[in-house]
Structure 1
Amino acid sequence: MRDSQWLTAILQTSFDEIYVIDAQTSRIIHASESACANLQRPFEELRGLPFPALAASSAETQLERRLRSLNRQTRNKEKDKEPVSFSAVLVRKNGTAYPILFRLQKCEINQISAIIAVGQPQSASKKGDEETGPVSNPFKTSDIPSDINTPWLVYQIIRKNDGSVSFPHLSGGCENLLGITQDQLHTNPDLFLSLVLPQDRDSYIESMTDSAIYMKSWNWEGRIWVDSIKEIRWINLLAAPHQLDNGRVQWEGIMTNITQSKQEEMEIKLSKNRLAELSAHVEEVKEQERTQISREIHDDLGGNLTAIKMALALLAKRLPHNQPELAEKAEYVDQLVDRTIEAAHRIASNMRPSILDIGIVAALEWQADEFSRQSGILCKFESTAPDIQLQPAQSTAFFRIAQEALTNIARHAEASRVSIQLTASKAHVQLKIIDNGKGITVADRMKPQSFGIRGMIERAHSLGGKLSFDSVPKKRNAITVVIPFTDMLFDSEISLPVKN
């Protein structure tokens, strides 16, 4: 769970006044619903307001001084890591004032240096002198009703040098979230690890150890077994570490039920996989149709046109010599048949060149020659082997990706040189198209109409590969496709060197 998600949950459910303050400007970033209600002001009015401005005029300077002092703390000393508390007087929108006891602590939220202010309004009889001592435990179990029914719990956990752990403080959401009571977890702290599914325990221990070593936030997602409802539940741990004496480490944080969001995430992933499978199936059907149409054009239409040309030649020989205009008409029709035959061959080749049946190396070499002839741009083809035997779908994917890349270069790149490189190893086969044109920017790839680029990416992904872009405009722009050599076949008599 992201910082913003657990913070929002606390701000919406806490009975305390909670303010998140920008440590640099002292302005309010977030405020809890209780704070807005007590101040009689909507959050839209509080957002961006200097936090000291909420206090009575006599306490405003004092509150501002307290914030500056807290912001200057270096965190190098253990005492600087603890929250501090003091009293203040806040003013409601209607002009009435009320005393409040604040606890302040500096922290990092979404990489922003912030100060968390947790306030508990006090009765007039409790208003007293400012308290400046540290608060050792900002998450007290007694602050939260024991029967609270929430999808999260606030906790403290301490790990000793020997790896053993204890849970000094747990909020009342323990049984609702984990299916075990606070007393059970206090008595047997190892019970929590037993709840974690075996396949997720290593990541749990690894993330805890990593947080302890580097003193960074502990953020872990994993699955637990809730025996009371016989159900697997996803949880997120988000906590801040503190170094204690004797090598002990203490974390204070929040544990949240993220099962629903995880299920939605998995459904989205499954949907994306199904869309990818559908896309791959559509491309396969299209290629089959192209192959069939190409063969029909070549065999049926091409054969008929050849027969027409032969019949026309016989008729031309029998035309009267004294009618030259008929001979001219016959010659024109003969030329028209030739152009039609040429167009039929070109259309059939564009749909699916028959040279693909010979092999991917021959097909890409032919494609490079055709590109040079049609565009006037120098295009060289290189391969590490004279033959690389691929499955038909794999050969077609490489050919179509190269075809789309060359089309884009001819239309948009303003390049003068193009290189097509095909390399192979026992692990994968790689296709690289390099040019010295303008290149493809990130904005170009994100355009809604960039169907050609998306088609290249989908073709690579459908075969378990990946497609990447590397662009240095006017110098070297490369599109690289790498596909694993799963179910691909090498010519056993050919040695395949690999280019670096």
Structure 2
Amino acid sequence: MSPLSEIRKYLESAAQSSLDDIYAIDPQSLTLMTVLVDGAEAPVAEYPVDNLLQALREPQIREFLDAVPREQTMLDISHELHALNRYLGEFRLLMVGRSSGQVLLVMRDTHAFSRHLLHVLNEGANLSSLISNAPGVVYQAHMSRDGVMGFVYLSDACKPLLGEDAEVLVANPDIFLSLINEEDKAAYEKNVSESAHNLSVLNWTGRFWMQAWQDTKWINLRASPRKMPDNTVVWEGIMTNITQSRREQQAIRQSHEKLARLSAQMAQIKEKERLRIAQEVHDDLGGNLTAIRLGLSSIIKRLGPEQETLLSKAKQLEAIVDDTFEAAHRIASDLRPNVLELGIVAALEWQAAQFVEKIGIPCEFVCHQPELTVSTDHAITLFRICQEAMSNIAKYAKASDVKVTLAASADEIVMQVVDDGIGIAPVDRLKSNAFGISGMAERAVALAGQCKVQAGKQGGTIVTVTLPVQPVNIATALK
């Protein structure tokens, strides 16, 4: 006969009784002396009480039983033993004195308890199979009125997951707490407390140190609480090993962070390359164009009125050189605006004025500090992010007003670009081709800062850039 069938047979017979079963136990040897059902003696072998006897044999309980005065005729010791072992909470325990010695009477309400278990068995005949094939440890935990939590039941998967036998954790719940990483214990205790107080689902994930395997596991605890008639709380749920998925998530997150830093470093390299090209355009190309311009001016002065055709050609070349000079100046300015040499406040003020001139939308620049001393990298980052934000406003926002603010404290610099346009939808920030938005964020990340793009409460879009004052070495950040 299978263990499940034996349990069913026992419960079916016990559930017919409306009286408590009474176990008579020798408190000295802690052996079962007799069992009374409906006031009649029943065969001891049909009533397995191994768990009960094992609980009574715990050192603290044996010590307590030995200390019970022998002159007492009958003493209810239920409360004291419940405090020492939660498993005994299912029983009422009486110490009875008689001439031949003491007898410990243990009673359980088999009528209610057995019918409840029969209901569970009848509703799911494959309960044991279900538990054994569950992807984790099926458990039941109990919190006493004084806030002490322990396990009532742990399935056989306990040993492979936690490295300890279920019986060990049931008998000593402190072992379970000792497995939790010190940094995660506070969060665990807070979640358990909130679940008990609000009767909300317990859903907590933390790290467990497995001494036997010298390894850390990520374990998720999910359980539903219910309040018992005595105002204690019981949870039924499952523990699952999510170490692999956590490590994969961590690897993906680290990969994303490294790619973001690499992208930010590339932006820094690109800025340096822009500076180099701008300087070459200004110095080499500009110098050559200046020499050509001076040469043409000298030739034009030497040509007489009779050489009208040559004079016209020379003046045309002079105009082309002037146009080329303007183009070279514009290209160099786009690559590296000269206004940055005047400081970030002047650069952003100039950019706001350029926006008004070219786009025709009012743009106000506000900074209550006339001078801000920032590193070159900070200045370029703020300028480029503002430039990109204004470009997006011109292309997509349909705004009628723009405001740029810049403020600095001892710890950070904050810039905001606010418009009153149609706003940005959350899905727009997730588009694969949203390179402008991701580029702004990566520039900020390169300096250990952040760039947030969000919809305004009254409509429009708000771009907020926060950078730490202390410059960050990109090569160091990549290590």
1:368 paired to 2:352? yes
Structure 2 equivalent of residue 216 of structure 1: 200
The structure 1 segments of at least 4 consecutive aligned residues displaced by more than 6 Å after TM superposition are 82-87
Structure 1: distance between partners of 2:378 and 2:155: 57
Distance 1:169 1:359, change over 3 A: same
Counting aligned pairs with the same residue, the percent is: 42
Consecutive unaligned residues in structure 2, runs of 5 or more? 1-111, 473-479
Aligned with residue 346 of structure 1, among 320, 327, 330? 330
- Which digits, 9 at most, give the CA deviation of each residue in 1:165-219, with x for residues without a partner? 2211111011111000011112211110011121211111111111111111111
The answer as to whether partners of 2:348 and 2:365 remain within 8 angstroms in 1 is yes
Q: Give the C-alpha shift of residue 426 in structure 1.
A: 2.3
Structure 2 equivalent of residue 227 of structure 1: 211
Structure 2: distance between partners of 1:85 and 1:145: 16
Written as runs of structure 1 = structure 2, the 5 A alignment for 1:189-208 is 189-208=173-192
Structure with higher Rg: it is: 2
The answer as to whether partners of 2:424 and 2:460 remain within 8 angstroms in 1 is no
Distance 1:402 1:247, change over 3 A: same
1:386 paired to 2:391? no
In the superposition, the TM-score normalised over structure 1's length comes to 0.67
Number of equivalenced pairs: 359
Distance 1:438 1:364, change over 3 A: same
1:300 paired to 2:300? no
Structure 2: distance between partners of 1:164 and 1:373: 71
The answer as to whether partners of 2:264 and 2:445 remain within 8 angstroms in 1 is no
1:101 paired to 2:122? yes
RMSD: 2.7
In the superposition, the TM-score normalised over structure 2's length comes to 0.70
Structure 1 equivalent of residue 146 of structure 2: 162
The answer as to whether partners of 2:355 and 2:363 remain within 8 angstroms in 1 is yes
Structure 2: distance between partners of 1:84 and 1:404: 68
Structure 2: distance between partners of 1:429 and 1:441: 27
Q: Give the C-alpha shift of residue 151 in structure 1.
A: 5.5
Q: Give the C-alpha shift of residue 253 in structure 1.
A: 0.4
Written as runs of structure 1 = structure 2, the 5 A alignment for 1:48-63 is none
Q: Give the C-alpha shift of residue 278 in structure 1.
A: 0.8
SS of aligned partner of 2:364: strand
- Which digits, 9 at most, give the CA deviation of each residue in 1:436-477, with x for residues without a partner? 333322333233222112111222233333323343699643
Structure 2: distance between partners of 1:150 and 1:298: 72
Structure 2: distance between partners of 1:152 and 1:468: 40
Structure 2: distance between partners of 1:332 and 1:374: 29
Aligned with residue 125 of structure 2, among 98, 108, 120? 120
Structure 2: distance between partners of 1:331 and 1:473: 59
Structure 2: distance between partners of 1:354 and 1:307: 22
Q: Give the C-alpha shift of residue 155 in structure 1.
A: 0.4
Structure 1 equivalent of residue 381 of structure 2: 397
Consecutive unaligned residues in structure 1, runs of 5 or more? 1-78, 88-99, 103-118, 122-139, 489-500
Structure 2: distance between partners of 1:235 and 1:403: 47
Written as runs of structure 1 = structure 2, the 5 A alignment for 1:70-85 is none
Q: Give the C-alpha shift of residue 338 in structure 1.
A: 1.1
Distance 1:474 1:173, change over 3 A: closer
The answer as to whether partners of 1:439 and 1:473 remain within 8 angstroms in 2 is no
Structure 2: distance between partners of 1:365 and 1:145: 70
Written as runs of structure 1 = structure 2, the 5 A alignment for 1:320-469 is 320-469=304-453
- Which digits, 9 at most, give the CA deviation of each residue in 1:409-459, with x for residues without a partner? 222223333221111222321111122333322333233222112111222
Distance 1:194 1:475, change over 3 A: closer
2:383 aligned partner, one-letter code? F
Aligned with residue 271 of structure 2, among 273, 276, 287? 287
